[in-house]
Structures are given as C-alpha cells and as structure tokens.
Amino acid sequence: MASHGKLLTKAFMMAALPLALGSAFAQEAPKLTNDEKAAAKKIYFERCAGCHGVLRKGATGKNLEPHWTKKLPDGQTQEGGTLKLGASRLEKIISYGTEGGMVNFDDILSKEEIALMAKYIQTTPDVPPEFSFKDTMDSWKEIIPVAQRPTKQMNNFNLKNMFSVTLRDTGEVALIDGDTKEIRSIVKTGYAVHISRLSKSGRYVYVIGRDGRLSLIDLWMEKPAVVAELKVGFDARSVDTSKFKGFDDKYAIAGSYWPPQYVIMEGETLKPLKVVSTRGMTVDGEYHPEPRVASIVSSEIKPEWVVNIKETGQILLVDYSDIKNLKTTTIESAKFLHDGGWDASKRYFLVAANASNKIAAVDTKTGKLAALIDTAKIPHPGRGANFVHPKFGPVWATGHLGADVVTLISTPSDDPKHSKYKEYNWKVVQEMKHVPGNLFVKTHPKSQHFWADAPQNPDKDLAESVAVWDMADLSKPKAVLNVAKDSGLPPTKATKRAVHPEYSADGKEVWISLWGGKTDQSAIVVYDDATLKVKKVITDPKMITPTGKFNVYNTQHDIY
C-alpha cells in the first residue's frame, strides 16, 4: 500500500499542471442530480473540507477547484472535439490515499460514494451563506442559567483525571473517569468535535464541533451535562477561554472555518459579545476570501488570545481587556497556519504553517515573531510535545503528515542550568526517524517516553500502530505497538486507526483511540507508560469512532 501511495502522489502531482500546459480540448464538468449534489456536499463537509477548504482552494490538502480536478488525463476519450474524462484516477486517489497524508477512503466510503465524490470535485463549488452576529445571537441557548448551577462539585469524580473523548461520527463527547475507566456521561454535542478545552478554573469543558456548534459542559453537576450552546458558524475547529489573572472564566473565543471569523462571548453563558471577520490580505499581499481560523490558545502572561489565520499566514494577538475597543496585533509568519502549542515556559507559542513546511514561533511577551523555522514536509504537531533533550536541552517536537521524521526544535529557557543550550535556540536539532501520516506526538514531565501515532499512513499496519521512544536514546523507537492487535478486538478489513496518545494526569498511563468504522467496534487502549503493557481496553456499544481525548488536568495546564 505504501508503494501504491507513492504512485498516487506522483499521479496527483502530474495532474496538478497549470492550465497553460493543459489539453486543447474543452472539458465538461460531470452532471449531478440535485440528490447526488446534496449527498456529495454532505460527504465533502464531513470528510474533505477540513483539509481542502469549503471553497476547495486547498491548504493542508491540495487545491480541488475544477481547473485542477478536470485535468487528470486518465480514461479520457474525444467526442466531437470535447474531452470526456473518466474519473478513474480521481477515484483511485480518493480510495487509496497518498503518502502526503490523505487517508484511504475505501474503508470509509462505498464505491458509489467514491465515484460520486470524484464527479463532485470536478464541479464548481457553491459559496455557502454568511453567519451574522444576529444569526449567532439567535442560536444561543442558556440551558441552565448560572444561578441555577451547583455552587460546589455535586459528584465524587476525580475531575483532574477525567477524559473528554470525541465520539466523532455520532456528534457526542464521552466523559470517561480516568481512575475507574468508566463512562460517566455521554453528552450530545456538535458533529465531529475537534477539540475540548478547559476553563481556567477546570470546572467547564468547551467543545467545538466541525458544524460550528459550541457546547459548554459543567463538570460540577451530579451527571456532567451541557449548560449552554452557541453556533459560531457552519464549520469550525477552535475554542479557548480567558486565562489571565482577573479574567478567569470571564470570556471565551471560538473561531470558524466558514464564515472566516471568530466570536467572543461570555465564558460562563456563551452569550455572544462580538463577531470579528478574518478576511484580508495574505503575507504575500494577495486578498483571500476564506482565511479560516485554524487554532486559538490563551496566554497566561497577558490578557490575550493567540489566533492563527490559516490561509493568510497572519497570527493575531487579540487583547480582550476591553472588548468594546478591541486591540489586535498582527504578526506576519507563513501561509497555511494550522495547529500548535506552548513551549515549556508558556512564553512562546509554536504553530505549524504546514503547507509552507515551516514552524512559526511567537514571543507573546514582546508581541513579535521570534523565529520562522524550516522543517520537513507538512508538520502537524497537534499541541506538540516538550521535554529536555539529553544533548540539546529544552525542545519542542512536531510530527509530520508528509515526512518520515519527528522534528525537534530547541526552545529558549530562563533557567540558568539551560544557558549552555542557547546556541541551539530556534534550530532543528534532531529529526527522529518515524513514518509519514503522523497527527499527534505526546510526552509528559513525569515520563521517560515519547509517543507518536501514524493514523494517516496508507499502510494498514502502520496506521494501526504507535511508536514509542526512550528519552535516553532517541535514535530509533524503543517499540512499535500495534494497538489494533493489542486491543483484542477481532480483525477487520477496514483500518482501525490508532490516534491521539493522551497521558493521564499523573503521567503513568497513555490512552490511545482505536478509530474504526461506524459499524466496527472501536476502543480506547490504555497502556502503562513504564512497561508499555496494556492495562485496560475500554469498549462500549455507545462509544463509536473515538478520536481526540483530552485529560482535564493536562489540558487545563497545557501539559504536553
């Protein structure tokens, strides 16, 4: 499968020739019925828009506008001077994926759906409607007012070790007790929750669905449940809260992919206060109609949010000390910003400009770009991972969708014992050998191990496995664990993707999601971090397609 991925990657590159080099024949777009178009739009939103964009202009994924997708010269015939295009090559790319990080959809979509999508991406994309402040306000629901909520924790759960687990395809979040491994509550949320974030106090969980639905979960309730909801747009990925001293739990912010904008709201009610558009010029000086809000983090040294705008390559420092008179610092970096995390000091934020193959580092103390670092192809850090390298001192790590390495970048430190490492700061000091298709890397201050997944790799065994390094020897993985086999679940033809390592609060366990198909049994496999042995396999008929897992304490304190 891996070699097939290389052929498909080459095929896609050959396909992506400029129009000037294209055929002299006119190219007709396939005709779709209204029902086919509606079905294709739904699949595209759920499975494709995140990487390729609502308008199909590309970012992490390729540009899929018709002037590219209609150029694939495979299965073509000439009829009366018009080029009729067979969709077979597009279907193969969709079916088998590529080594650039696109997964194989042959075990996710039916053959008929794959054929439909190959036709759909050759048609002109529709421009979705806008979503105004009034639309946002009309969507707001305060299900349980603040005055009616508990004044103290009404359950006996160890909330620090609670996990908020995304159940991707059911539009739910499972709250799992990290001590007992029991599901304490399954909460209806938006579709395919992208992230869970914690309030400064640790009481509230904010979850944002890809459909733009933001849900506020109160962990103090006898059975944790949603107490407020808001729709911030039609497609979204990011949320965070105000964490600077004096603003604890006061505000929240959520960013949209479509429309390209962010919403500032009251932290405990989600009542919207302001909607701000992110449309504008790229770092190259060109206007972009779809500059999506890729990720947001909250500073604890200033009343600011770091807001990363994907297509423009602009990093915004949004000062929330005066919402009515909002002040924003705009920092130029590189295009196609995605996700990132804090260094160990929490002063510097590092974010992947993944299609530019760079990591941008922002100094939130000075409000300036600290560095722009070249990396291997398509960095995808999640939040990244921080540890002290035996040779290079404090480093921050990112994996890659499109390269077979994990990149380690030296980060500054005010600790006198780390002064000898200053010469390495903002340099790539090591590339650990891994495989392409990595989404998340993780470690913990109390661990001697480093974990990395590879769920986007086209090879089934690799996608079902995670690699683990010993901090004392980063030259090669200490072990490659096949999570699917370790789960004890019956083997299936479909790939069960091992995704998103997440530590328990004490750093002694690592939880891995085993993301199967809708009809397959999924699981969370819990490993002992010291022995790398399976401690528990969490399965439940209601736990369908688990993906991201967010430990309350680690997420609250940005430990990764």
Q: Indicate which residue of 117, 265, 288, 338 is catalytic.
A: 338
- Please give the Cα distance from 551 to 560 (Å, whole number): 11
Active-site residue identified among 48, 162, 265, 543? 48
Rounded CA separation 351/315 (Å)? 9
**Which of the residues 194, 288, 380, 400 is marked catalytic?**
380
Residue 380 among the catalytic residues: yes
The rounded distance, in Å, linking the Cα atoms of 321 and 173 is: 32
Asked about 557 being catalytic, the answer comes back as no
Q: Are 387 and 409 in contact (CB under 8 A)?
A: no
| DSSP 3-state of 523 | strand
Asked if 348 and 270 touch (Cβ cutoff 8 Å), the reply is no
Can you spell out the DSSP letters for 364-406?
A: TTTTEEEEEEE-SSSB--TT-EEEEETTTEEEEEE-BSSSSEE
Longest CA span, the chain: 77
The C-alpha atoms of residue 7 and residue 2 are separated, in whole angstroms, by: 9
Asked about 102 being catalytic, the answer comes back as: yes
Q: Is 260 exposed, middle or buried (0-12, 13-18, 19+ CB in 10 A)?
A: buried
**Active site annotation includes 4:** no
What is the three-class DSSP state of 194?
coil
Pairing of strands 348-353, 358-363: antiparallel
- What residues form DSSP beta bridges with 205? 198, 217
Is 162 among the catalytic positions?
A: no
Strands (E), 199-241: 204-208, 213-218, 225-231, 235-241
Q: Of these residues, 52, 194, 288, 449, which one is catalytic?
A: 52
d(Cα 176, Cα 163) in Å, to the nearest integer? 5
389 annotated active-site = no
Single-letter residue type at 208? I
Active site residues: 48, 51-52, 102, 338, 380
